Amino acid sequence: MAVSIANEIKKCVDTCPLDRQYIVNRSCQRDECKTKYRFYNSTGIKCFDTCPSNLFFSNTTCVFQCLNNQYVFDQTCVRFCPSSHAIIDERHIAMEQYNCYSGICAKHVAVFKECRASCPPEKFLFNKECKNVCPNNTVIHANRCVKVCPNTHLKVEKTEVAISTWFKQWWSLATDKWVLRNETVETSQCVSQCSERYPLQFHNSCVRKCPKDVPYQINGMCVESCPGNKLNNLTTKVCVDQCAKTVGEFNRSCYSRCPKHIKYIFNARCVSECPSSHPVALEKDRFVCRKSCGDSKLFRDGECIESYLCDDPMFEYNDKCLHRCPEGLVWLGECRHTLVPKIFVGILCFLLLPLIILSRQLLPDFKMAARLVFMSYEMIEEEEKRLIQSESNSKLKEKNRGAEDVISLHELIPHMEDEHTF
């Protein structure tokens, strides 16, 4: 500001002298204000036709802040708010803002209560006052703090509210240094449907995850256990109609890793072992039964290996490296089904059956011929002598038997004659 002295020399000053304390057009004057309003501050008395927007009317004075028992209505300090603007909103106006280490600072902040017809969009109405955050035991609905949600919005969901407030730093109370603080506060609001951020419903609350004692979810609701027609997915905690192919069903539940005694997963079931059609089951793959390792690898003893690692005495068969053929197969240069040998044996038996029946009749002659084949010449001569001697003995016995029959006849005739005589 400029000040004029006797020799009409002007100079810049921070504060007008007492004999020239009125400030008009940034110049210190002796004459009192000819305008309607005045503003008293440390630099002097400023003269205004109307109070600036950052000041309030109080009679003929512009003030930086109304008295504690006053409110601001239409930029004027009043004792009572009119009925049309009965809502009270506490506001802050910062003066002489500047950048500081803490962010944004101000030399002065005016705190006042304004009369309003409604709260600003960023605040919430509670007991005719505008609040940055609703009090405890209340929730937000239509920019109001309510204790009970209306029937149209029965669910309660968490939300976040951004707040900007000015506060005075405790180490700068003497310098009137104010700092702007921005923070986010978690609160709750009434909703008609749960949002994607909190998709599950527990009682009347929308939650991200069901509580531990009510862990399962069905149709967006948290339940203690799935109903009888549903399965418990122990990983996702969702009630499902059937388990996915890569998880196993056991005891009405879907397991990502099945119990140890049935640790393999095949066709969405926990099984004690993989079928021969899907023999590959790796621990890192949660023991899901698969047809092969893929990537030209072979399955050996619970792991997938490169084909060149399948060494003797092991051999490659159907993408596997084996010690022996699978059940139902035999080694005939390679693993073959046992059905072929069985058919061959059956056909052979069928063809040999007539020969076996015929051999029962020819067996004695065959045995004799066999004996002769393997006998020596001397043994043959001895056998011939034995047969001749046997034949001679047989004839002698027959001759003796005939003689005995003749003697008996002669003895019988005399007896018959004697009987006739008597």
pLDDT in tens, 341-363: 666 666 776 776 666 666 655 55
Q: Give a yes or no: residue 285 inside a domain.
A: yes
- Residues forming a β-bridge with 248: 255
Q: Give a yes or no: residue 384 inside a domain.
A: no
Task: Provide the pLDDT for residue 371.
Answer: 56
User: Is residue 228 domain-shared with residue 265, that is, in the same domain?
Assistant: yes
User: Is residue 235 domain-shared with residue 307, that is, in the same domain?
Assistant: no
Range of the domain at 256: 210-291
Query: Length of the chain, please?
Result: 422
Tell me how far apart the alpha carbons of residues 166 and 188 are, in angstroms, rounded to a whole number: 24
pLDDT tens for 153-175 read: 999 999 999 999 888 876 655 55
pLDDT range class, residue 126, cuts 50, 70, 90:
very high
Q: Give a yes or no: residue 118 inside a domain.
A: no
Q: Give a yes or no: residue 287 inside a domain.
A: yes
Can you tell me the mean pLDDT for 400-422? 46
Task: Provide the pLDDT for residue 376.
Answer: 46
User: Is residue 285 domain-shared with residue 316, that is, in the same domain?
Assistant: no
Number of domains in the chain: 2
- Paired tokens of 95: 């003066």
**What separation in angstroms does the CA of 78 have from each of 37, 65, 89?**
17, 12, 14
**Lowest mean pLDDT segment, chosen from 81-90, 106-115, 368-377:** 368-377
Q: Give a yes or no: residue 270 inside a domain.
A: yes
Chain mean pLDDT for the chain: 81
Helices of type H across 225-330: none
User: Is residue 227 domain-shared with residue 270, that is, in the same domain?
Assistant: yes
User: Is residue 269 domain-shared with residue 225, that is, in the same domain?
Assistant: yes
Of 216, 245, 246, 219, the residue nearest 231 (C-alpha): 216
- Paired tokens of 155: 């669910």
Task: Provide the pLDDT for residue 408.
Answer: 46
Q: Give a yes or no: residue 363 inside a domain.
A: no
Q: Give a yes or no: residue 4 inside a domain.
A: no
Q: What is the dihedral of CA 329, 330, 336, 342, to 10 degrees?
A: -90
**What separation in angstroms does the CA of 261 have from each of 96, 132, 273?**
76, 59, 9
Binning the chain into helix, strand and coil, the percentages to the nearest 5 are 25, 35, 40
The DSSP code sequence of 84-98 is GG-EEEEEEEEEEEE
User: Is residue 216 domain-shared with residue 263, that is, in the same domain?
Assistant: yes
User: Is residue 235 domain-shared with residue 278, that is, in the same domain?
Assistant: yes
User: Is residue 281 domain-shared with residue 222, that is, in the same domain?
Assistant: yes
User: Is residue 308 domain-shared with residue 337, that is, in the same domain?
Assistant: yes
Q: Give a yes or no: residue 275 inside a domain.
A: yes
